Amino acid sequence: MPRRPTFIRLSDAQRKEVTGFIHYCQTTRGKLRDCIHGQVIWFSDRGLSVSQIARRLHIAKSVVWKCFKNYREKGIEGLKGARNFTSHKY
């Protein structure tokens, strides 16, 4: 079984999109969960390990892995909670 990548590297455009997503979640009535999911990707791009991200955000490592998987498969849409999220252009 191939090893899963332990980090995500973002392009400049992706970095801007993730940063905008985090800012939107923090400055509006965005869901805290969505904000944390964005921070997982942001911290990973900065070189933090899965364990470091989990400790810093007080979440399980399995949540970090799930965020990685969702982001790889669906991009920013994969970070959004499934319920009550109003679509917004970042």
Q: Taking the domains of the chain in order of start, what are their residue ranges? A: 12-78
What pLDDT, on a 0 to 100 scale, did the predictor assign at position 29?
72
How many Å is the maximal CA-CA distance in the chain?
A: 42
pLDDT at residue 10, as a whole number: 94
What pLDDT does 11 receive?
94
Instruction: Note the CATH architecture for domain 12-78.
Output: Orthogonal Bundle (1.10)
| pLDDT surpasses 90 at 7 | no
pLDDT digits (tens, 9 = 90+) for 27-72: 877 788 889 999 999 999 999 999 999 999 999 999 999 999 999 9
pLDDT value at position 2? 53
> What's residue 87's pLDDT?
43
| Residues 6+ away with beta carbon under 8 Å from 40 | 53, 57, 59, 63, 64, 67, 68
Residue 19, pLDDT score: 94
